[in-house]
Chain A
């Protein structure tokens, strides 16, 4: 973790964080719909207004509605639920969709999808002598590489795979370098 530059990571990750477009569209449409309904109701209710909206008055009988009515409680619970979801979307920055990489140019941000990084690292591990199959799992701070080998005596295979993966990680330069763990499995052949 000594090489981890938090500021650089945050700047790099910002570009790849979710923009919250879907919750924003949902909330904006709901807000606009509520505004338009209220506006129509207000115009219809203004004394002397020629506008009459049939049905709107009867949608909810406000005069007799009580706080303990099941419909009121259900609507309140729904508002609370939607409110909490929107609040969470607004307050949490969300995880970056791509793995941010170091960029020598301050005006550009570079990122790689987790799939591409996984595939590349699996190919790197696969190229090591004695490896017959490699699989990579990528966590937030950890990269688990599991390789299969037909060798009876794998010897230093684990170290060689780790070395190759570390070397290519250095080349790729993710802003937050994952910790590499290698597991070697002998293939019964």
Chain B
């Protein structure tokens, strides 16, 4: 779910931000003479660096940080669409795979060109075993978005019925279509 990506992002941003803030504050404090001046790397530190274990341990820590950062980076791709959805989450019975595009196309076809002239775009996000429907409904300026929203909910219910998945989470976004013909300020 996108919820998870948001949570991970916010936790990591807080941690990295906190480290940078504290490090920057400490360094500025030293420059101002609050925590004692002197060289960036004191003499004792050079003895530590000379130890045979220092660089291998530093390298290992750097490797772990790099891998965590890359994992965080690739997590951002999770919010992109998925290609297929698994209809039988219970793997003991074998999974039934369905093309996400086909399912999305079905609800688009069902809802497109409704009474509010809505244009619908559907897609699936999350993971194949835990899909989430993302529906964008573009309505004309003179149309009633409340009605378009209700119709979209009805379409979601129909899709759930067809997929036999009554808990398929859905996010419906209603936006104004770009056609200017019925713009209220046009006259």
Contacts and interface: CB of A to CB of B under 8 A. Distances in A.
Chain A bound to chain B: yes
Interface of A: 14-15, 17, 19-21, 23-25, 27-29, 31-32, 34-36, 38-39, 41-43, 45-47, 62-68, 72-73, 75-91, 93, 98, 101, 103-105, 107-113, 115-117, 119-120, 122-123, 126, 133-135, 168, 171-173
Contact of A110 (B31, B39, B141, B172): B172
A25 B76 contact: yes
Interface residues of B, number: 73
Contact of B153 (A34, A82, A103, A168): A103
B72 A87 contact: no
A21 B76 contact: yes
Interface string B89-129: 00000000000000000000000000000000000000000
B146 A135 contact: no
A19 B6 contact: yes
A116 B40 contact: no
Interface string B1-39: 011011001111111111111111101101100000111
Contact of A112 (B37, B76, B149): B149
B13 A89 contact: yes
A147 B115 CA distance: 28
A38 B184 CA distance: 60
Contacts of B164: none
B82 interface: no
A77 B59 contact: no
Interface in B153-187: 153, 156-157, 167-176, 182-185
Contact of B55 (A42, A62, A103, A135): A42
Interface in B56-74: 56, 58-59, 61-63, 65-66, 68-70, 72-73
Given A31-B69, A116-B175, A24 B24 contact: no
Closest 4 CB pairs of A and B: A83-B20, A80-B24, A86-B17, A87-B17
Contacts of B16: 27, 31, 83, 86, 90
Given A14-B3, A117-B145, A24 B37 contact: no
Contacts of A123: 141-142, 182, 184
Given A31-B69, A76-B24, A87-B14, A171 B62 contact: no
Tell me whether chain A's interface is mostly helix, strand or loop, or mixed: helix
A32 B11 CA distance: 17
Contacts of B27: 67, 72-73, 75-76, 79
A115 B138 CA distance: 11
Contacts of A115: 175-176
Contacts of B65: 31, 34-35, 38
Q: Indicate the member of B65, B139, B152, B184 with the most A CB atoms within 10 Å.
A: B184
A122 B186 CA distance: 11
Contact of B13 (A64, A86, A172): A86
B73 A25 contact: yes
A134 B184 contact: yes
B153 A28 contact: no
A38 B69 CA distance: 14
Most buried by A among B52, B59, B157: B59
Q: Which of B21, B167, B183 has the most CB of A within 10 A?
A: B21
A78 B21 CA distance: 9
Contacts of A38: 58-59, 61-62, 65
A84 to B, nearest CB: 6
